[in-house]
Structure 1
Amino acid sequence: MKNILPRLALTSLLVAGSVHAAEKPDVGISPWGPNDQIGRLNMITPESQASILSRIAGGKSYDLSVDYFIGMPSWQAAGDPHYRIWMTHTPHGNVIDDPLHLGEEMNEHVSYTGAAISMYTHMGTHIDALPHFGLNGKIWNGFEASEHLGDRGWSVAGAEKIPPLIARGVLIDVAASKGVDMLPDGYRISQQDLIDALEKQHVSLQEGDIVLIRTGRMKHYNDAEAYMNNPPGLGIEAARFLVEVSGAMVVGADNLSFEAFPSEVENNYVPLHTYLLAQHGVPIMELVYLEDLSKDQTYEFAFIGGSLKLRGADAAPIRPIALPLNKS
């Protein structure tokens, strides 16, 4: 594991001139070989998992996921569907319809409830798979949409390829670092904001971390309009700091879309998504619930999460937990 704070002098070299680069970037080619479909998740090894699991303190756990409900915040700008839940079976309906032909007496004795849901893959606490955004018709590792994307999703790098996530997790509480409950609308988190927060927390990043950024936006989660109205997010230099300096494996935040808008890059409306997913193979988590970690000032933990194995999908819901570590 590599400690990043002694390497901060490299940052200015890495980010200089990155925002308005003249050349249009292309997708990254994996150092793990031509068949790689999970990018930096290759950093998860039996040894790395054993190392972090051996440090769990026990006694407390944190649920980092949000509720799903009708009216929840969701991305609507491109016309994607809202979350919907409807009853397929109710106790009184079964008495009337008797769908299993059990008779009135049985249906009145044994109550039966069933439901169905419909939702966009990028709703609630979720993880973006690498095909979510690409460049020039290709995704991470040079896989081309023309060859690998059919009517039933991607034949490569879909959400079903995401392994169980067991790694060191780090909370960077930018809102608390600035002494506010929530960052202002549209605030663009900088590299220096991340450095300042880490120093105040007395935490260093390590290669292979799952790094979660708190903006405080989750305080608006029950008010979809307020939550979605120009949320704060990361700037491109902050993303480069996490990836190229710290070696983050996965990044995430408590907002939706992770990055701040409008774009800093003239020819790309979502530069952080293409930079992370397509160029560096770094999955993104969004709508991560970080309020309890912040309240308890728990900045370092074992992160354990499993996402739904949605074959060919560009994202999937995830139910992550954080387990505090023994002091080393």
Structure 2
Amino acid sequence: MMIRTRILATAMGLLLGAPLQAAPAATVGQSPWGPQDELGALNLMTDASRAAILSRVAGGEAYDLSVEYFIGMPGWHAAGDPRYQMWMTHTPRGTVNSDPMHLGEEINAHVSYTGSAISMYAHTGTHIDALNHFGLNGKIYNGFSADDHLGDAGWNVTGAETIPPIIARGVLIDVAGAKGLSMLTDNYRITRADLEQALAHQDVTLQQGDVVLIRTGRMANYEDADAYMTAAPGMGMEAARFLAEESGAMIIGADNLSFEAFPSEIEGNYVPLHTYLLAQQGVPIMELVYLEDLAAKGIYEFAFIGGSLKLRGGDAAPMRPIALPIK
């Protein structure tokens, strides 16, 4: 119980001594792509940008940027969200005994049937946040209000089904590696200077429309959910503004959960990076991205290719992205 309470307190920014900054009342962003736009920064991806990055693919190894799903994996169950669960609906022996399709013992013994089902929170494992995940004052990005656009079966705008297949230049910013660390220290808040130092160390320059992925090294604790979730390092507001507004990142992600550092820097908002990126800037967030192999090989630029599940009205969707080295 103590560990669960500590995880929840850390995640929700309720620890005492938070470095709060007073901020003017924030409002949701209006899309420069028009009042009906549901994609936000994903509009930066075009036929030309996809063709440009695919033309640079060098071939060779493909790097899997997703994590495995398993019972006991890290998740937001301390905040009341369901754990990942998997159970068998059919087993070879069980099917022989129960004969659910009335085929007879001989056929069931010959045809070995295995089936399973899963249940989980949408923000489990490697996933992308849809723009409706967090909002401000009852509205989400581009001014869509919950009163008008949220039903019993999810949002009818900006749902996960609207997220297109993503093909873009990917950039790994290995903040831990640039500091000579395998993992950033507990509760470390990544700054703009940290990002600039890592980019200089890697000799990489950001471009508008990039998928920018931040490595904290936290993935080393992935098999131990309590260690992974407790006091995790994450992004600070200054760093997020640098990536979204100054560098023009299309998607920003990291190897942790939940992306930003806690406790909050902003008074009156316990998840300021989520509301800033999703609700104000229209920039989707990826979490639990597996970056260890790329970092080990020193691959900092690549073609990012990924598609998420088309969960209608959903506020997030699982992804299995890949990285292809470029020349």
TM-score norm. by structure 1 comes to 0.93
Note the C-alpha offset of 1:22. Answer: 3.9
Residue 307 of structure 1 aligns with an amino acid whose one-letter code is S
Q: Deviations over 1:255-278 (max 9, x none)?
A: 001000000001110000000000
Aligned partner of 2:126 in structure 1 is 125
- Return the alpha-carbon distance in structure 1 between the equivalents of residues 245 and 21 of structure 2: 18
- Return the alpha-carbon distance in structure 2 between the equivalents of residues 125 and 153 of structure 1: 21
Residue 187 of structure 1 aligns with an amino acid whose one-letter code is Y
Alignment of 1:107-118 (within 5 A): 107-118=108-119
Residue 161 of structure 2 aligns with an amino acid whose one-letter code is E
Aligned partner of 1:180 in structure 2 is 181
- Return the alpha-carbon distance in structure 1 between the equivalents of residues 153 and 72 of structure 2: 28
- Return the alpha-carbon distance in structure 2 between the equivalents of residues 252 and 293 of structure 1: 14
Aligned partner of 1:262 in structure 2 is 263
Note the C-alpha offset of 1:94. Answer: 0.5
Alignment of 1:287-298 (within 5 A): 287-298=288-299
Regions of 4+ moved over 2 Å: 19-22
Aligned partner of 1:73 in structure 2 is 74
Note the C-alpha offset of 1:21. Answer: 4.8
Matched, 1:235 2:244: no
Aligned partner of 1:16 in structure 2 is none
Aligned partner of 2:84 in structure 1 is 83
- Return the alpha-carbon distance in structure 2 between the equivalents of residues 22 and 122 of structure 1: 28
Residue 266 of structure 1 aligns with an amino acid whose one-letter code is E
The change in CA–CA distance for 1:325 and 1:117 in structure 2 (over 3 A counts) is same
Note the C-alpha offset of 1:51. Answer: 0.4
- Return the alpha-carbon distance in structure 1 between the equivalents of residues 23 and 263 of structure 2: 19
Matched, 1:306 2:326: no
Aligned partner of 2:6 in structure 1 is none
Aligned partner of 2:55 in structure 1 is 54
Aligned partner of 2:277 in structure 1 is 276
The change in CA–CA distance for 1:228 and 1:22 in structure 2 (over 3 A counts) is closer
Overall identity of the aligned pairs, in %: 71
Secondary structure of residue in 1 paired with 2:214: strand
- Return the alpha-carbon distance in structure 2 between the equivalents of residues 107 and 125 of structure 1: 37
Residue 61 of structure 1 aligns with an amino acid whose one-letter code is A
- Return the alpha-carbon distance in structure 2 between the equivalents of residues 163 and 307 of structure 1: 8
Aligned partner of 1:45 in structure 2 is 46
Q: Deviations over 1:166-215 (max 9, x none)?
A: 00000000000000100011000000000000000000000000000000
- Return the alpha-carbon distance in structure 1 between the equivalents of residues 227 and 157 of structure 2: 37
Residue 136 of structure 1 aligns with an amino acid whose one-letter code is N
Contact 2:23 2:267 in 1 (8 A): no
Matched, 1:323 2:320: no
- Return the alpha-carbon distance in structure 2 between the equivalents of residues 23 and 198 of structure 1: 31
- Return the alpha-carbon distance in structure 2 between the equivalents of residues 286 and 23 of structure 1: 28
- Return the alpha-carbon distance in structure 2 between the equivalents of residues 198 and 156 of structure 1: 36
- Return the alpha-carbon distance in structure 2 between the equivalents of residues 227 and 44 of structure 1: 33
Residue 264 of structure 1 aligns with an amino acid whose one-letter code is E
Corresponding pairs, count: 308
Aligned partner of 1:167 in structure 2 is 168
Q: Deviations over 1:213-262 (max 9, x none)?
A: 00000000000010001100000000000011101000000000100000
Alignment of 1:21-32 (within 5 A): 21-32=22-33
Q: Deviations over 1:64-93 (max 9, x none)?
A: 000000000001232000000000000001
Contact 2:22 2:267 in 1 (8 A): no
Q: Deviations over 1:39-60 (max 9, x none)?
A: 0001111111000000000011
Matched, 1:222 2:223: yes
- Return the alpha-carbon distance in structure 2 between the equivalents of residues 218 and 310 of structure 1: 26
- Return the alpha-carbon distance in structure 1 between the equivalents of residues 41 and 181 of structure 2: 33
Aligned partner of 2:17 in structure 1 is none
Residue 39 of structure 2 aligns with an amino acid whose one-letter code is I
Residue 311 of structure 2 aligns with an amino acid whose one-letter code is L
- Return the alpha-carbon distance in structure 1 between the equivalents of residues 263 and 78 of structure 2: 14
Query: 5+ unaligned residues in a row in structure 2: which ranges?
Result: 1-19
Note the C-alpha offset of 1:38. Answer: 1.0
